[in-house]
Homo-oligomer: A and B are copies of this chain.
């Protein structure tokens, strides 16, 4: 019998406890042994099926030699960071879905895990139950990864889907998402692109092998997105999606950002709707592959954590690690792409600034796509225009 602990009994922690109980047959078949939840670390005791496993004393868990793996479901950095570190120091594997902690301190924690000969695994931190990090780092290991991008946040994708389908304004769509439990009471981290930003940092760390600091990554959410642009794009055959994107640059430099993009409706990622997520990885041998599914939710996220627990117990630590060196991170405005602009002005104004453009609409305001230019160039050329909206086009 193998024993484990859960730290924090919120949505993900509860899901982990449920899956260990409900899918015990599958788990035992794969593991060749039974997996038992022994201890649940909580701040406040409460009634429920795991009441008799609860403790509020971390040292009890830390010093219990029978516990081989701890699943950190606390969230945030402070306590989560300390307990993770102490579990690793104590020779226990740690598994988590905590994207903030991995994005900010993952490099240090992985190094500590390696020193101690244990695993620190976090498949659930990106894409919930969708397998992404293992396929990226293992199945695509023979590729040079050139780009990763995706719809990384279900809340904002749900809001965008409502805006397209029902013509709802952002604030109304957000209220609907909150009513359905898809958005938190405080939706800041989601709608401002911070949640997607942490995930694209983790993807960039693993894809390119060097630290990308969240603080260096420009994160634009959907709070300033206008329903007018959603409708214009839609009529022209494009969907607007919030993408996190990380790109390899010449000389092993790299960049990453989060921003809304126009996506041609014929691309598979344009059909990713509601709370679904999708991540596209471009390797120099494999080309583009896409991973798609529910990016959040109790059971999907928890099942990814339990799979990581099983990997801790069956696989050798594989030296999953990236270099601390964060240099060589460049401004994403150096990237070339087509841009969407909506200006208060005429087609003549647009053409004077950008030369030939593709017009989407003209009625006092003019909406158009530029040719591929760097973001810096686009901003410079648009400096004399009265810009009402601007966005990248995924190409």
- A residues bordering B, Cβ < 8 Å? 15, 19, 23, 25-27, 29-30, 32, 123, 129-131, 134-135, 138-144, 209, 266-268, 270-272, 283-294, 297, 299-300, 302-304, 306-307, 309-311, 314-316, 318-319
Question: Are B134 and A209 within 8 A (Cβ)?
Answer: no
Question: Are B319 and A318 within 8 A (Cβ)?
Answer: no
- Asked whether A292 and B292 contact (CB < 8 A) given A271-B266, A319-B32, the answer is yes
Q: Which of B30, B271, B299 contacts A141 (CB 8 A)?
A: B30
Q: How distant is the Cα of A294 from the Cα of B287 in the complex, in angstroms?
A: 7
Q: List 14 A-B contacts (CB under 8 A).
A: A15-B285, A19-B285, A23-B143, A30-B141, A129-B285, A138-B307, A142-B304, A266-B271, A268-B268, A286-B303, A287-B294, A287-B299, A288-B293, A316-B316
The number of times this chain is found in the oligomer is: 2
* Nearest 10 interchain pairs by C-beta: A131-B139, A289-B293, A285-B303, A142-B306, A131-B135, A129-B286, A290-B292, A285-B299, A142-B303, A141-B307
Closest to A145 in B: B26
- Asked whether A285 and B23 contact (CB < 8 A) given A135-B134, A291-B291, A315-B316, the answer is yes
| Residue numbers in B under 8 Å from A315 (CB-CB) | 315-316, 318
| Residue numbers in B under 8 Å from A291 (CB-CB) | 135, 289-292
Question: Are B26 and A144 within 8 A (Cβ)?
Answer: yes
- Asked whether A311 and B138 contact (CB < 8 A) given A289-B292, A289-B293, the answer is yes
Q: How distant is the Cα of A123 from the Cα of B139 in the complex, in angstroms?
A: 8
Q: Which of B29, B283, B294 contacts A209 (CB 8 A)?
A: B29
Q: How distant is the Cα of A292 from the Cα of B268 in the complex, in angstroms?
A: 9
Q: Given A268-B268, A287-B300, 19 more contacts at CB 8 Å?
A: A19-B285, A26-B144, A27-B141, A131-B289, A140-B303, A142-B303, A142-B310, A266-B271, A268-B271, A268-B272, A268-B292, A286-B303, A287-B294, A287-B299, A289-B291, A290-B290, A292-B292, A314-B318, A315-B315
